[in-house]
Amino acid sequence: MDTVNPVELLDERECWELLELAPMGRIAIAVGGVIDIFPLNFAVHDGAVYFRTAPGTKLVELTIHPDVALEIDGWDEGEAFSVVVKGVAERLEHAAEIEEAERLPLTPWVPTLKYRWVRIRPGSVTGRRFRRGPEPDRF
């Protein structure tokens, strides 16, 4: 990382590596000019992001407006990072796609029935790493 610039752009490979390690993220959905953000756990497979959901607001909103953004972040004492996936969400309908998704290492965190599968096909995957340091002096 550049010692002068505390912000580093991540390449797509680094972004996917961080996505594969992330325990959870947040999905942003915009319907009718209103943005909703939902926390979720997910799995990365074959260049896409998969998650499970139950019938409800999230699934209805994705059906109305499938353009989404998924964001993950993390930090430690020395640095922080953020990765954003922008793409189109699609509910899996075909038996072969659902069977493939069922083999992913993904189980709901909340003990509810989440038997609908959604795949996000990315249009872009971007990320940044931030070097953390002491707070600047205030005057």
Q: Is the dihedral of CA 85, 88, 91, 97 positive or negative?
A: negative
Residue 3 has pLDDT above 80, yes or no: no
The reported pTM is 0.86
Q: Is residue 39 a contact partner of residue 26, using CB atoms and an 8 Å limit?
A: yes
The yes-or-no verdict on residue 88 having pLDDT over 60 is: yes
> What CA–CA distance (Å, rounded) separates 5 from 17?
23
CA distance 69 to 62: 11
Give the contacts of 60 (CB within 8 A, at least 6 positions apart): none
pLDDT in tens, 37-72: 999 999 999 999 999 988 888 888 888 899 999 999
- C-beta atoms surrounding 88 within 10 Å: 14
| pLDDT (0 to 100) of residue 139 | 61
Query: Where is mean pLDDT largest: 28-37, 53-62, 76-85?
Result: 76-85
Nearest-angstrom CA–CA distance, 75 and 98: 34
Q: Is residue 11's pLDDT more than 70?
A: yes
Tokens representing residue 121 in the block: 């096909």
Buried/exposed code over 105-136 (b: 16+ C-beta within 10 A; e: otherwise): ebeeeeeeebebbbbbebeebebebbeeeeee
pLDDT level of residue 1 (50, 70, 90 thresholds): low
CATH of 11-131, one of 2.60.40.2550, 2.40.50.100, 2.60.40.10, 2.30.110.10: 2.30.110.10
pLDDT of 2 reads 52
For the stretch 90-139, pLDDT in tens is 999 999 999 999 999 888 777 777 879 999 999 999 999 998 876 666 66
